[in-house]
Amino acid sequence: MIEQGIVTAPVIIKDNVWIGYGVTILKGVEIGEGSIVAAGSVVTKNIPPYSIAGGIPSKVIKMRK
């Protein structure tokens, strides 16, 4: 088990992001500025700026601008 190693990647959360209760964000994901992530979502891919995302896996529901 130890010889398998650990693979990590940073999670980047930009300014003015709202993250709902119970959201899971996987490694290597970037959440763009001004975005909203709905409660209980599982974020597997990058979320563009000023968007609303939700679901399992999360997807963009609506753009804020």
C-beta separation of 36 from 18 below 8 A: yes
Domain coordinates in residue numbering, the chain? 8-63
Q: Which two tokens stand for residue 44?
A: 């597997």
The answer on pLDDT for 1 being more than 80 is no
Write phi, then psi, for 2 (nearest 5 degrees): -65, -35
Side chain identity, residue 19: I
C-beta separation of 62 from 54 below 8 A: no
The answer on pLDDT for 54 being more than 90 is yes
* Average pLDDT of span 41-54: 97
Kindly report the pTM of this predicted structure.
0.87
CATH class of 8-63: mainly beta
pLDDT class for 5, splitting at 50, 70, 90?
confident
Strands 24-25 and 12-13: unpaired
- Nearest Cα to Cα of residue 33 among 14, 61, 52: 14
pLDDT class for 57, splitting at 50, 70, 90?
very high
Mean pLDDT, the chain, rounded, equals 95
